Copies of this chain bind each other. A is one copy, B any other.
């Protein structure tokens, strides 16, 4: 007999004479010759109730079933008299696959996120983390679906790279040099390393994606990216996933249109497909979650320039930890004030000073600002960072010279401006920030299966 997953059973249209279900016991309670077992198989938030009575051959064993034990249950799917569940299973056979010992850490009670982080290999078995990782999975799928419907091609840009996209930034080094050899030589001799030169973990697939956008038109990357920043905050991990669309024949306005359309689509998709899991977050994590998601989905996102934003912040009368000054980067507190308190919805900031942005962004006619764009959202701050790219070879070379970037290292990137250059744009969206946004979870460590942070590489 084929096993049926619990989400299917709970959605069944009618009772069934015989079903086979497998899963893990969340709780067991006994009552005069009956055992009520809540069985969960991870297919959905809800468990199914199994009713085992003492007529079962192994009822003695069933009475010893503990939380976390694994069962294979055959029985009839019947309508449930209990509230909140349409069906339950009258067991005709309960096979115990394994009994969890009494020291199983996930006994029925609430555990702190900190504790659960220390058992990240077990936390997806809890309601909250199960829900979180199902939502993460569904959001990934929604991203691929959105882009395929729009005719974008998915691209895998390299993780190991010889170039540094941002022209700076702290990168991890990748090496196959033997530490013993390094000790003997007293130094790291990269000419003898795997690639014959220094190699790093990518901080962005953008430059590679641009090459493909100028060939296939619309492309996107979606993969792991890395920052070796030694900062222990709730918003930063050393390893995280980033979505980066890159579009040929696309200017800054269209770039914003695209970002707004994307975010609305993703919110729409998960409110449709993850309602049960989202409810958990509304109930236990953020009472306002539904309102936040509705604003993201239905509001018209604001669009202002960096300079206008600075003016709003300076006139706000708000006491910020960091002073707002023209020409400096906005801090998270400023970004959140704009989105949360001032606009009360997502807002695009454009045309940042060139001095605080990378070399590849398109120079505006004022020669002072560039065609950059950040999307700020309530509770998160920056969700999207992008730009129209500098497609004019002479302007790009000039900018690289000013920033002391060696042209020869970027020969292939410059080639794309020599041969068939066209206006093009793109952005990066931190995937974990998106998950935090839609669940209300406030620590990035809790939306990644196994987070990597300074000093922490467990599991």
Contact = CB atoms under 8 A, between A and B. Distances in A.
Interface of A: 3, 5, 7, 22-24, 41-43, 68-70, 72, 97-98, 100-101, 104-106, 119-122, 124-125, 130, 133-134, 136-137, 140-141, 144, 148, 151, 153-163, 170, 172-177, 179, 182-183, 186-188, 190, 194-197, 199, 201, 208, 211-212, 214-217, 223-224, 226, 228, 230, 238-239, 241, 248-249, 391, 412-413, 415-416, 418-423, 448-450, 452, 454-459
Nearest to A393: B98
**Copies of chain A in the complex:** 2
A188 to B, nearest CB: 5
A161 to B, nearest CB: 7
A97 B98 CA distance: 67
Nearest to A173: B175
Nearest to A126: B215
Contact of A70 (B121, B228, B421): B421
A185 to B, nearest CB: 9
B449 A158 contact: yes
A435 to B, nearest CB: 11
A133 to B, nearest CB: 6
B186 A176 contact: no
B161 A457 contact: yes
A458 B418 contact: no
Nearest 9 interchain pairs by C-beta: A42-B216, A124-B215, A137-B153, A195-B457, A42-B217, A121-B412, A176-B228, A121-B211, A183-B187
Nearest to A213: B42
Nearest to A228: B176
Counting chain B CB atoms within 10 Å of each CB, the highest count among A121, A187, A228, A241 belongs to A121
Contacts of A455: 194-196
Nearest to A199: B457
A22 B249 contact: yes
A422 B97 contact: yes
Contacts of A22: 248-249, 422
A254 B455 CA distance: 40
Given A186-B186, A419-B68, A459-B208, A224 B43 contact: no
Contacts of A43: 151, 216-217
Given A5-B151, A195-B457, A421-B98, A121 B416 contact: yes
Contacts of A179: 173, 187-188, 190
A59 B175 CA distance: 56
